[in-house]
Structure 1
Amino acid sequence: MIDTPRERLPYSAIIDRPKLTLPDGARMAVWTIMNVEHWDSTKAQPRTILPPPMGQPLLPDVPNWSWHEYGNRVGFWRLNDMFKNYGVKPTLAMNGMILQTYPRIAETALEGGWEFMGHGYNQGPMHKLDDQREHIQSTVEAIKDFTGKGPVGWESPGLTETMETLDLLSEAGIEYVADWPLDDQPVELKTTTGKQMFSVPYPVETNDITMMALQQHSSEEFAKRCIDHFDRLYDDSADITRIMGISMHTYISGVPHRSKYVEQVYEHITSKPDVLIWTGEQVMEWYKTQL
């Protein structure tokens, strides 16, 4: 039994590690996580933009459910056009239920060569589930049945885990997680299964939930922060290889008033030499070759 996060990995200063070498002389890689979620209209919504009228919660919460629904009806398609323009193939972090409620999105991602990553079966915290193993397996099987290939990556809803989550994910064939935002490079995590498990750098800073839903910045902050973050990592990567993630949600970044700022980020990143635009799986597979 592993009881604490520290037991999963030892401390390691990035300046003390063996040199990592990306292919083709690249110095850093950027991966994009596109979160597509199923919100159950019969329950309290995972996030809200409008408070309950007169302080009286209600179900169904039509306005907040609709706020999210816009992202999958409209926002996804706006972002998908942009990704195609810049040659970006994101990692689709998806609830298993997406295949039933939003199959058109899944079909488009599959046709576009996106990576499919598990993101729970429904949008809800892992630590509140009665049976994590069944929940994980249902998600993995749904993706495998649709794509023909089981997912190797996992992002828990809200990055929530218990101390058994990683071991259950490993049992289900997951090889990397995006729940541990603790480094600029992939790291290996210990599991009770003895199988390899990696953490691929996932962003909580260059993440539209953090900036817009929680910190409530104006729309241009997304471009400013992501570009500033990238520029510093690009400078750092002259000496030490870095991995950067950008995480977006259809109902946050897919709205009209944020679209040009998202485009500014990818215009900037793709203009720089020696930068790879990868998926999370590509990052993990490359890192394995460096061990």
Structure 2
Amino acid sequence: MKESLGVYDYWPYKDRPKIRWPNGAKVAFWVAPNIEFYELDPPDNPYRKAWPQPSPALPGYTIRDYGNRVGHRRQMALLDKYGIRGSVSLSVALCEHYPEIIEMCQERDWELFSHGIYNTRYTYGLSEQQERDMIRDSIETIYRHTGQKCAGYLAPALSHSERTLDLFAEVGTELFGDEAGIYTCDLFHDDQPTPVSVRSGKRFISIPYSLEMNDTIVYAVNKVEPRHYGEILKRHFDRLYQEGEESGTVMCIPTHNYQVSCPHRIKAFEEVLEYITGHSDVWVATGREIADYYLEHYYDAALDDIERKKGSVK
């Protein structure tokens, strides 16, 4: 039985090389809107059902359709208000199904990274070639529609294989060299970016994407009310801001346009954005900007520190 994934080393938070974000910011803050495409009657996957009821699964499908019809515009207007460029976790089928949403993202210079093709088609059970083809399709589709060289990856519906990170890094390199395939959001193990080992040896990192702050987990799983979600986000930020005095941290709010953008929830989210952006020493960034900055300024020092600490244990 495996004891770990084998893609990152145990690296205690204490006494790491200090991170300083641009302009001395304590926290790098990014918002990751999940803009997803769900199929009403997707192909069967033996490992996971897309819907809890037989097709047509109208409740689940139509509330997600609400997100792309109504909720997305509501959330986008709010992020515009507070000067936040979204980093979109994108079901890339959206590029062809709802190109007007992609155009709106491009107008605002939002980042688009891959969340697979459909959020109803999973990595589970795919062969290596099938998964490689899916990843390649997603990167090529984003580039074809936007000219962006996809930097990040979040597996569709958080489905994953043992080779997902290797394949994303490799396909990114094959298509665009070091400009694509450089970070993952699929590891939830830290409050700072960290090096990740991939089989090609490419410089590759994880950047924090919090499941605990994810609106779907909060609302659909933990059944938290909007006002309390707002307080949770503020407390999360306050702690990272305090620790960021010593070494820069990262806060991500992963959202879904059919969750946080519902009329009864949007006000609590707005209050949080106002609170966080009201701090002058916060770097409001995209996922790619955080990844690029860390790779340039801290990746090598992190690797050296990891090796040094491994050696001291021996």
Q: Is the 8 A contact 1:4 1:163 kept in 2?
A: no
TM-score of the superposed pair, with normalisation by structure 1: 0.92
Q: Is the 8 A contact 2:122 2:156 kept in 1?
A: yes
Aligned residue runs from structure 1 range 125-136, under 5 A: 125-130=122-127, 131-136=130-135
SS in 2 for 1:8: coil
Corresponding residue for residue 92 of structure 2? 96
**Which of 213, 216, 224 does residue 209 from structure 1 map onto?**
216
Q: Is the 8 A contact 2:7 2:196 kept in 1?
A: yes
Task: Count the aligned residue pairs.
Answer: 282
Q: Is the 8 A contact 1:183 1:201 kept in 2?
A: yes
Corresponding residue for residue 277 of structure 2? 270
The letter for the 2-side match of 1:66 is: T
Corresponding residue for residue 147 of structure 2? 148
| Structure 1 residue 227: Cα displacement | 0.6
Corresponding residue for residue 246 of structure 1? 253
Where does structure 2 lack aligned partners over 5 or more consecutive residues? 173-180, 301-314
Aligned residue runs from structure 1 range 97-246, under 5 A: 97-123=93-119, 124-130=121-127, 131-173=130-172, 174-246=181-253
How many percent of aligned residue pairs carry the same amino acid? 31
Superposed CA RMSD: 1.7
**Which of 64, 73, 76 does residue 77 from structure 1 map onto?**
73
Where does structure 1 lack aligned partners over 5 or more consecutive residues? 52-56
For 1:98-137, what per-residue CA distance to the aligned partner results, in whole angstroms no more than 9, with x for missing partners? Answer: 1111111111001101001000011133224351111111
Q: Is the 8 A contact 2:112 2:148 kept in 1?
A: no
Distance in 1 of aligned mates of 2:219 and 2:74: 18
Distance in 2 of aligned mates of 1:271 and 1:177: 28
1:60 is aligned to 2:56: yes
CA separation of 1:283/1:4 partners in 2, compared to 1, >3 Å: closer, same or farther? Answer: farther
Q: Is the 8 A contact 1:119 1:154 kept in 2?
A: yes
Corresponding residue for residue 34 of structure 2? 35
Q: Is the 8 A contact 2:90 2:114 kept in 1?
A: yes
The letter for the 1-side match of 2:123 is: M
For 1:130-188, what per-residue CA distance to the aligned partner results, in whole angstroms no more than 9, with x for missing partners? Answer: 51111111101000101112201111123222111111101111110000011111011
TM-score of the superposed pair, with normalisation by structure 2: 0.86
